[in-house]
Amino acid sequence: MSQAQLAGPDLSDSYVSLIESGKRTPTPVVARLLAERLGCTTEFLLHGIEPRQRIDTELGLRHAELELYHGDPAAAADRFGDIVKAAGEDNAMLAAHARVGVARALEAQGRTGRAVEAYERLRREAAAHPERLADLPLVVSLCRCYQRAGDRLRARDLGAHALAQADRLGIAEGELAMELALSLVETESGLPYVERVLAATQVTKAVDQTSEVLALWQASVAAAEGEDSALAVRLAEDALSAGRNARIAVRRARIAMHWARIAVDAGDADLDRANELAASATGVFSAFPGEKAEHARSLIVLSHVRFRGGDTESAVDLAEQALDLLVAIRGTTAATAHLVLAEVALARSRDAAPALRRAQDLLGSDTALPGMETARAWRRLGDLWGQAGDVDQQAGAYRRALEAVGIRVHIPGSTSSAMLIR
C-alpha cells in the first residue's frame, strides 16, 4: 500500500510520511482511521502488540516488580529478561522498561558491577531516545551504584547532575525524590536538598503489610491461571500499591539514619534534630522483621547520638540492643556497636580495651567488606586506641582504614594519616 493509498481522501501524503518517520503522533481519530485501512487494531498500530498480549505483558511486568520488591531478585531478573525477549524491537518502550527492571534486579542481588553496566547502557539509550526513557531515574540509580562500588567521586558527580535536574524540574516529593535524597545522603552531599525531602515527606505509622501483599499477589496468579488477565493485572497493581507506603517509610528511615550519622560525626551537630531523626528511623525499622540489619544500624546511630548528648546509660542500652539483633553476625555494623561501648568506657575512665579488641576482631573478619563504612570504623577505632594510650594499635587501625579504601602505605605511628579518611 502506498502512502497515497493509506492517506486516502482524509489525510495528506506528507502527513502520513511524517507519522511513519516518527515526527508526528497521530490523534486517536487518525489512529483508528489508519488501523482500519491497514486491517489491524489501533492497539497494535500504536504499540506493536495486540490488546490481549499487552494485558499479559503488563501482568508479567507487575509480577516481576512484585518479585523484585517482595520475592527473589534473581527470579525478578529472569522475569524482566523474558519480557525483553518477548517485546523484541517491535515494542521498544516496553523493552526499555523491562531492561530497567533487569538493572534494578541486578542491583538488588548485590551484582553492582553488572548493574552499573546495565544502567550505563540504558542512559545512552535515554540520550538517543528520550521518548522511551527518562534520564533522571537512571542517573540516580548510577549514583547509588557507584557509591556502593566505592567510586565516591563518580557518585558525587552524578549526584550533583541529578540534583541540578531535580531542582530545575521542581522535584522534592515522591518516590524519585526519595531515591535521589537517599543517594545524596549516602555520598554525604546535597544535604540541603535531603532536608527539603525529609520535611516534605509526611511521617506515617510504619506498618508491615507483607502478608496482604503476598495474598494479593497469590490472588493475581490464580486469576491469571483462570485466564482472567484483566483481574490479574488489577490484583497485581493492588499488591504493589499495598506495599508502597512501607517502601517509602523504609526509604525515608534510611535517609534519616544517614543524616543523623553525618550530623553527629560533624561534631557541631544539632543533636536534638539528629536524635529525632535517628529515633524515627529506629521506630520504622523495628516494625519490619526483614530490616533487622538496618534496625541494628539505626540503634547504633541513635546510641552514638545519645552518647554525644551525655546520656551514657541510654547509649550503652541501645548498643547492646543492636548487638542482640546482630547475634552471630560478624562485620562492620557489629563492630561499630562495640566502638560505642568503648567510647562510654573511656568516658567513665574504665578499661576500653576489651570492647576495642572485639571491634578490631569484627572489622578484621571476612564479612567486613572494604569501603567507606569500614574505613570510617577503622579510623574511629584508631582514634579510640589513641585515647586508650596504645599507639601501636592506633597506627595499625589507621593503616587498615586506608587499606579499606584501596590505599596501602606504612604508617610509623603517626596520627596525621587519619585525616585522609573522612
Question: d(Cα 343, Cα 49) in Å, to the nearest integer?
Answer: 64
Beta strand spans in 306-401 (E): none
Q: Name the pLDDT band for 245 (thresholds 50, 70, 90).
A: confident
Question: d(Cα 121, Cα 232) in Å, to the nearest integer?
Answer: 32
Length of the chain: 422
Tens digits of residue pLDDT in 160-175: 999 999 999 999 988 8
Q: What CATH architecture applies to the domain 51-195? A: Alpha Horseshoe (1.25)
Q: What are phi and psi of 300, to 5 degrees?
A: -70, -40
Question: How far is the first Cα of the chain from the last one, in angstroms, to the nearest whole number?
Answer: 68
Tens digits of residue pLDDT in 186-201: 999 999 999 999 988 8
**Which residues fall within 8 angstroms of residue 135, CB to CB, at 6 or more apart?**
123, 126, 127, 165
Beta strand spans in 88-196 (E): none
Grid cell in block for residue 421: 579518611
CB distance 405 to 371 below 8 Å: yes
Grid cell in block for residue 345: 568506657
Tens digits of residue pLDDT in 322-341: 999 998 777 899 999 999 99
Calculate helix-pair angle for 229-265, 271-286, nearest 10 degrees. Answer: 150
Kindly report each contact of residues 131-139 with a partner whose C-beta sits within 8 Å and lies 24 or more positions away, as own/partner: 131/93, 132/92, 132/93, 132/96, 133/96, 133/100, 135/165, 136/162, 136/165, 136/166, 136/169, 136/171, 136/176, 136/180, 137/100, 137/176, 137/179, 138/100, 139/165
- Residue 255, Cβ neighbours under 10 Å: how many? 25
Question: d(Cα 216, Cα 373) in Å, to the nearest integer?
Answer: 38
Question: d(Cα 86, Cα 265) in Å, to the nearest integer?
Answer: 50
Query: Which pLDDT value is given to residue 419?
Result: 43
CB distance 102 to 76 below 8 Å: no
Beta strand spans in 226-384 (E): none
- Report the phi/psi class of residue 351: left, alpha or beta, with left for phi > 0 and alpha for psi in -120 to 50: beta
Q: Name the pLDDT band for 43 (thresholds 50, 70, 90).
A: low
pLDDT above 90: residue 143 = yes
**Which residues fall within 8 angstroms of residue 27, CB to CB, at 6 or more apart?**
none
Segment 231-255 shows an average pLDDT of 92
**Average confidence score pLDDT of the chain:** 87
Tens digits of residue pLDDT in 285-322: 999 988 999 999 999 999 999 999 999 999 999 999 99
Domain residue ranges in the chain:
3-43, 51-195
Question: d(Cα 185, Cα 190) in Å, to the nearest integer?
Answer: 7
pLDDT above 80: residue 149 = yes
In percent, the amount of the chain with pLDDT more than 90 equals 59
Query: Which pLDDT value is given to residue 90?
Result: 66
pLDDT above 80: residue 422 = no
Q: 245: helix, coil or strand?
A: helix
Q: What is the DSSP string of 5-20?
A: HHHTTTS-HHHHHHHH
Tens digits of residue pLDDT in 349-391: 999 999 999 999 999 875 556 677 888 899 999 999 999 999 9
- Residue 299, Cβ neighbours under 10 Å: how many? 29
Grid cell in block for residue 8: 486516502
CB distance 119 to 103 below 8 Å: yes
Grid cell in block for residue 183: 543517594
In the DSSP assignment, the letter for residue 329 is -
Q: Name the pLDDT band for 47 (thresholds 50, 70, 90).
A: low
